[in-house]
Structure 1
């Protein structure tokens, strides 16, 4: 359970003796007489993001409560993941990293993700790794398409599916053409159908629960649905506070820092922070810095594009800016430059925590965010939060007490809050910071989240399981239908690429559609 396996290369299945040794270590560490069972997680890509942070915290929390935990994933880059995934805290196993790519010419991402997930399930089944673990329960998130296959491969273990947000809305929320919407339709149908194979469903907020019920009426009548808030490790924060003697070096020049932590994606609306910051009166903005940090992956086209667009936006508003490519280089030159805007792509946990401690305000720009773990981290660090009036932050941030809630359509309102935060006295900052820390301790601790997961697992395990033999032929038909749906979607996607996408010539060449010139 504490093996160092966070590698981007697949490793061979553990032997029975290795599994027993891992279990013994976990048992001794937790002071348990015997292991409480094996929980297997499935997550497509263990990078740096809110969904990944939840999976890691849930896994660590259950592990601390005496369970053996194993996480299967298609990808985990040691240089781009959370510390627990690379330092041996968690047993992370990378399987089926290829040959299916993450995308095809930056298209068909959802199709590739589903195929990679199915490939992972088949791989660990064929090698016997899945069965050697003898899992008591499964926890999967983000992708539900593999649940029917998983239910057939190992019907004895119940499945908890954690729904961060219906993928249907994530796709249709974009400025998509009719053709692209039609392409998505089979996957939206697959999402709802495959979720029916879960034993229970968990969501990350009441907001998401309402969206799920509105999207799929009757689903909650068929499957128990529970709200399990994401969390932060309050104990680690308390230990760090005790060790801090107040003489650490500042990570940035000055103390008037406004911080944004988000993945570099269009839906995060990071540009709002730049626009609001630029509108602060010049005399009030003197010495202030806007730091834009967050998850960034050069393999993802959207990340590259959004970062470039944000730089251009800063230029258009006459805001000087600098970029630190390596988030671990806190002593590098740009951090001490005079640029009022600083970009920190792929920020590490240590860097993020250090800069957060020095910030006057955390701005969280996404509208209708499913939950948002960053405001929780900020409140635990006693930093006031400015967030949107929609989505999960409404459940976490108390307007006027732990921070402020403002409409993302009202940029001047965000500017006003930024200006106010920069002028708050130490006493006012302390009062608001203390209120935020108390709220996190009460509602969003890791131990509390682990206990909620444990209660759901106990409830699922108490339910009788249907033997696989009794529904074998029906399941074969259903799995065949799933394959047909994906094949149709893939073929339809290729037609779209051939006739509509700007990169159609590249696709044509790849598929051999280009006509040969007469010689």
Structure 2
């Protein structure tokens, strides 16, 4: 099957941890690689943000990244790309005229715009994964939401006109239904994790962190942005004695002092009286993340909202228990009181209580860790994700063929 992935801002080649480089990049890269290994012809179309980039770059496993000329060839904020989606879509239409894909899988709402523009003239079915919805972002960020005003209306239109919406968690199905997109139009295929890379045998001695300075260690990781809720973890730490918190993500360590969110978090730590127990690590080499996770007693995931929940899966794959906010993708990935704890969002007191409870029982942590690893292997490998995606692709292509024959 010839599969076109469209991911306008989240390139599989991007370094993770930046403001606009996170779970979506991982999802697109790993799914593309797994599908290519199965013999599919996979091309990822992403925007050119550097004039020196090659037109085509191979990925491990056989997939290829194609850089699309849409807007100036420089790094732009994600929300600034909206104006360039018509030219992105026109480029896709031109490319697909020469080599028509069997199915298009669009990632994020702006990719959906471009994909429908590019696929329409050639009758190619389009599968849409939103990764994050504008309604959720606006609800939680309010006036701080910098998304284009047209976003929610366009997402609604995409959901109603694409051939299938592929949601990453069950919570998203309810959100889409509230937007007027029927659950019958939606399939749920969760995120995945590389269970061979993230594993319990990772050696904590190789973790990129100073030696443990306190009895217990907590770890939070991901993009260094406000919605990830690291401040909630820091406020919880003030109620957890004898424990340190490491935060991995953001710019390289030498540039942390220039990052507004890093400065804000250090200010929160000082305000809470835990400045000596909070360490910001900055960007961490992905190759060393499993060891860093294994060096922690617990992984904390405390965002205000979370469409994905890849970090909990990575921790569970390493057999490390998770304390996570009861939001979005966490509800599917974390089994409460079996692989970790789900706590109310925005409640550092509840976070602290759950952490203290788990730190007080080595036996419970070991049991949760073992169960977490088993849950990942059963439900959340990239092989399982690719199985689900393949089923959706085959369904929409078959339905499209029937419609074409009837027409």
The alpha-carbon deviation at position 102 of structure 1 amounts to 5.8
Superposed CA deviations along residues 290-337 of structure 1, whole A, max 9, x for unmatched, are 111135599xxxx933222112112222333xxxxxxxxxxxxxxxxx
Distance (whole Å) between structure 2 residues aligned to residue 191 and residue 70 of structure 1: 24
Q: Do 1:100 and 1:115's aligned partners in 2 also have CA atoms closer than 8 Å? A: no
Change (3 A) 1:289 1:85: farther
Taking only aligned residues, the RMSD between alpha carbons, in angstroms, comes to 3.1
Match of 1:195 in 2: 159
Match of 1:345 in 2: 282
Match of 2:105 in 1: 139
Q: Do 1:263 and 1:296's aligned partners in 2 also have CA atoms closer than 8 Å? A: no
Aligned to 1:99, which of 72, 78, 99? 72
Match of 2:89 in 1: 121
Name whichever of 46-55 and 203-212 sits farther off: 46-55
**Structure 1 residue ranges without an equivalent (≥5):** 1-36, 78-83, 321-338, 471-519
Distance (whole Å) between structure 1 residues aligned to residue 75 and residue 207 of structure 2: 39
Match of 2:150 in 1: 186
Aligned to 2:129, which of 162, 175, 194? 162
The alpha-carbon deviation at position 449 of structure 1 amounts to 0.8
Distance (whole Å) between structure 2 residues aligned to residue 123 and residue 194 of structure 1: 19
Match of 1:56 in 2: 29
Change (3 A) 1:200 1:309: same
Q: What secondary structure is seen at the aligned counterpart in 2 of 1:175?
A: helix
Q: Do 1:164 and 1:208's aligned partners in 2 also have CA atoms closer than 8 Å? A: no
Superposed CA deviations along residues 209-238 of structure 1, whole A, max 9, x for unmatched, are 1011012x24445xx210000011224446
Q: What secondary structure is seen at the aligned counterpart in 2 of 1:457?
A: helix
Task: Calculate the TM-score normalised by the size of structure 1.
Answer: 0.66
Match of 1:228 in 2: 189
Q: What secondary structure is seen at the aligned counterpart in 2 of 1:362?
A: strand
Query: Does 1:417 pair with 2:354?
Result: yes
Q: What secondary structure is seen at the aligned counterpart in 2 of 1:429?
A: helix
Q: What secondary structure is seen at the aligned counterpart in 2 of 1:196?
A: helix
Q: What secondary structure is seen at the aligned counterpart in 1 of 2:3?
A: strand
Query: Does 1:43 pair with 2:43?
Result: no
Aligned to 1:310, which of 251, 262, 265? 265
Match of 2:46 in 1: 73
The alpha-carbon deviation at position 438 of structure 1 amounts to 0.8
The alpha-carbon deviation at position 119 of structure 1 amounts to 2.5
Superposed CA deviations along residues 74-103 of structure 1, whole A, max 9, x for unmatched, are 1578xxxxxx98768641222226427665
Distance (whole Å) between structure 2 residues aligned to residue 272 and residue 248 of structure 1: 28
Distance (whole Å) between structure 2 residues aligned to residue 290 and residue 55 of structure 1: 30
Match of 2:222 in 1: 262
The alpha-carbon deviation at position 411 of structure 1 amounts to 1.7
Match of 1:464 in 2: 400
Q: Do 2:207 and 2:288's aligned partners in 1 also have CA atoms closer than 8 Å? A: no
Task: Calculate the TM-score normalised by the size of structure 2.
Answer: 0.83
Distance (whole Å) between structure 1 residues aligned to residue 394 and residue 61 of structure 2: 27
Q: What secondary structure is seen at the aligned counterpart in 1 of 2:154?
A: helix
Distance (whole Å) between structure 2 residues aligned to residue 458 and residue 88 of structure 1: 21
Match of 1:454 in 2: 390
Distance (whole Å) between structure 1 residues aligned to residue 272 and residue 292 of structure 2: 24
Distance (whole Å) between structure 1 residues aligned to residue 208 and residue 227 of structure 2: 29
Change (3 A) 1:163 1:249: closer
Alignment of 1:323-472 (within 5 A): 339-425=276-362, 427-465=363-401
Residues matched between the structures, number: 380
Distance (whole Å) between structure 2 residues aligned to residue 58 and residue 408 of structure 1: 30
Distance (whole Å) between structure 2 residues aligned to residue 422 and residue 290 of structure 1: 13
Distance (whole Å) between structure 1 residues aligned to residue 400 and residue 325 of structure 2: 43
Superposed CA deviations along residues 234-289 of structure 1, whole A, max 9, x for unmatched, are 24446x84xx6x695454312732000121222222100011112223xxx1xx32
Change (3 A) 1:44 1:459: same
Superposed CA deviations along residues 419-472 of structure 1, whole A, max 9, x for unmatched, are 3343432x43322210111111111111111111111111111123567xx9xx
Change (3 A) 1:146 1:98: closer
Match of 1:280 in 2: 240
Q: Do 2:89 and 2:113's aligned partners in 1 also have CA atoms closer than 8 Å? A: no
Q: Do 1:61 and 1:449's aligned partners in 2 also have CA atoms closer than 8 Å? A: no
Match of 1:271 in 2: 231
Q: Do 2:317 and 2:376's aligned partners in 1 also have CA atoms closer than 8 Å? A: yes
Distance (whole Å) between structure 2 residues aligned to residue 189 and residue 88 of structure 1: 37
The alpha-carbon deviation at position 363 of structure 1 amounts to 0.4
Q: Do 2:237 and 2:245's aligned partners in 1 also have CA atoms closer than 8 Å? A: yes
Q: Do 2:204 and 2:291's aligned partners in 1 also have CA atoms closer than 8 Å? A: no
Q: What secondary structure is seen at the aligned counterpart in 2 of 1:92?
A: strand
Distance (whole Å) between structure 1 residues aligned to residue 139 and residue 342 of structure 2: 26
